[in-house]
Chains A and B, each alone.
Chain A
């Protein structure tokens, strides 16, 4: 299969997750699980600007892969992101898809 066609072997909906900010956020939130991650930690880990991160976080939220909750951290209001069950399923499907590519 030509390299260009590889991504088409993945479900169309999941393909839209294959953007750096989206997939990297999902991977990190999968790792942190119920602990969640602060917005500034995601931003720092991905080394991207608000302008590139916020639309992708909103996209993940709108598609039900992540949720955001407001909480006080060290006396200040902070946004904490958590992966949802749908996010976990998508993460696992993408991981399985990547494994099949590696096995080729």
Chain B
């Protein structure tokens, strides 16, 4: 696809705009809040889908990609208008439809917490508790209860139907074993 400046829009940019469209989110280069949301959302999305679209580093406000920043300034009207020729796969659609429930209502600070925790877990290999403590150390202005809420959001985000089915199957197996055991016990009283 040819971008507004006549240059070829990169595949990763096309993909990100298509994913943002699925979430019902548009990015305006003229708003600081919108630009920061774009940074955090892009990081969350690429983790949700297991795809590396941009290289991120951890800076003052958490994960940040200068390359993505260049993209939303260069292709500002494409980001603002949701213009993309990329067709997300059914798997991508399913994951993002699930995530939409949580992401579409989140404020900037929640995005920062979720993206920050994800970065510390994914890139630094920290476990949940260590990531929470590290984020609080890096950003002491954040309340611990907000960070904990962020961890819960991550759990909800990554609870896809596939994972949910797997957990339910495991639970069913356990419940079946309990049912079988209780049936044996009941027969003893019959």
Contact = CB atoms under 8 A, between A and B. Distances in A.
B183 interface: no
Interface string B1-41: 00000000000000000000000000001011101100000
B33 A35 contact: no
Given A44-B141, A45-B60, A38 B32 contact: yes
B69 A34 contact: yes
A36 B32 contact: yes
A35 B27 CA distance: 13
B109 A33 contact: no
B49 to A, nearest CB: 24
Interface stretch (A1-9, A53-61, A72-80, A89-97): A72-80
Interface residues of A, number: 18
Interface string B46-71: 00000000000001110000100100
Interface in B116-151: 139, 141
B73 interface: yes
A35 B69 contact: yes
Nearest to B30: A71
A41 interface: yes
A28 interface: yes
Contacts of A41: 60-61
B108 interface: yes
Contacts of B33: 71-74
Nearest to A45: B60
Nearest to B70: A33
A68 B40 CA distance: 24
17 contacts: A31-B59, A33-B66, A34-B29, A35-B32, A35-B35, A35-B36, A37-B60, A38-B32, A41-B60, A41-B61, A44-B141, A45-B60, A71-B32, A71-B33, A74-B107, A74-B109, A80-B32
Interface of A: 28, 31-38, 41, 44-45, 71-74, 78, 80
